[in-house]
Amino acid sequence: MHYTSKKAGEYFADLYGKDNFVVVDIGGADGHKRFRNYYTNLNMKYICVDLTPCESVDVVIEPGQKLPFADGSVDLVISSSCFEHDPCFWITFREMCRITKNDGFIYINAPSKGSYHCVPGDNWRFYGDAGQALAYWASLSYGNEIPYPVSVEETFHIHTTMQTMPSHWSDFVCIWKRTSEKQSTIVVSDTMKNKMGPLRLKLINDGLNCSSQKEVSPQEWGP
């Protein structure tokens, strides 16, 4: 786990966590032991879910499987540096929404760029509208599944370069709140892009460049 994902994840715990909260970490194996310690020290119950059995993993599941938690039973669901590796992240996200309590929060940190890193595969990168698109997806009904609506509370990117610090992932960060209101748009609003939520402000105060993703003009597309 690189510096910016660690720092953002810890600040999320400080700002959105509360005493005795239940926290489920998706993809939180060995490299995320620091999150277990961090949440536990804040008197929260931390549960690690991953596809690989190891000492730090509490629940082992395969990608695309149902999470073994009841509907609306978890206060915070987090995933850091994992969604780029998940072969079916949209199913995982819907499951995260399902198990989150009403007014609970979901936090995801994933790269928007960066080099290939195979753990066990490397499949995706996440741009500025990803948070709203996932919220729209969670609002849909299909088959026998009921919707699990969420709304975007904060979304931004942590822009870094190899020159400014040893991370070139430009982390996509998004926080959703579990709600009853379905989403009808797939593009994040300008208001949300510019919103200075508590996590974004805390990271900016730490000297990090947190802003919406720069849109490339047609002139910059190239031939």
| SS3 (DSSP) at 103 | strand
Q: What is the pLDDT of residues 29-72, one digit of tens each?
A: 865 567 999 999 999 999 999 988 988 899 999 999 999 999 99
Q: How many CA atoms lie within 13 A of 32 on its CB side?
A: 29
Contact 171, 5 (CB under 8 A): yes
| SS3 (DSSP) at 108 | strand
Describe the crossing of helices 3-16 and 198-205 by its angle, rounded to 10 degrees.
130
What's the rounded Cα separation, in Å, for the pair 69 and 139?
20
Q: Which residue has the higher pLDDT, 222 or 197?
A: 197
Quick one: tokens of 53? 């059995």
pLDDT (0 to 100) of residue 219: 47
CATH code, residues 3-211: 3.40.50.150
Q: What is the pLDDT of residues 95-125, one digit of tens each?
A: 999 999 999 999 999 988 877 777 788 888 8
pLDDT (0 to 100) of residue 212: 79
Q: What is the pLDDT of residues 145-184, one digit of tens each?
A: 899 999 999 999 998 754 455 457 788 999 999 999 999 9
pLDDT (0 to 100) of residue 135: 98
| SS3 (DSSP) at 173 | strand
Q: Cα separations (Å) of 135 from 91, 106, 179? A: 12, 11, 10
* Domains of the chain, residue spans: 3-211
E-strand stretches of the chain? 22-26, 45-50, 59-60, 74-80, 100-111, 150-159, 171-178, 209-211
pLDDT (0 to 100) of residue 215: 53
Q: Kindly report the number of other CB atoms within 10 A of residue 118's CB atom.
A: 8
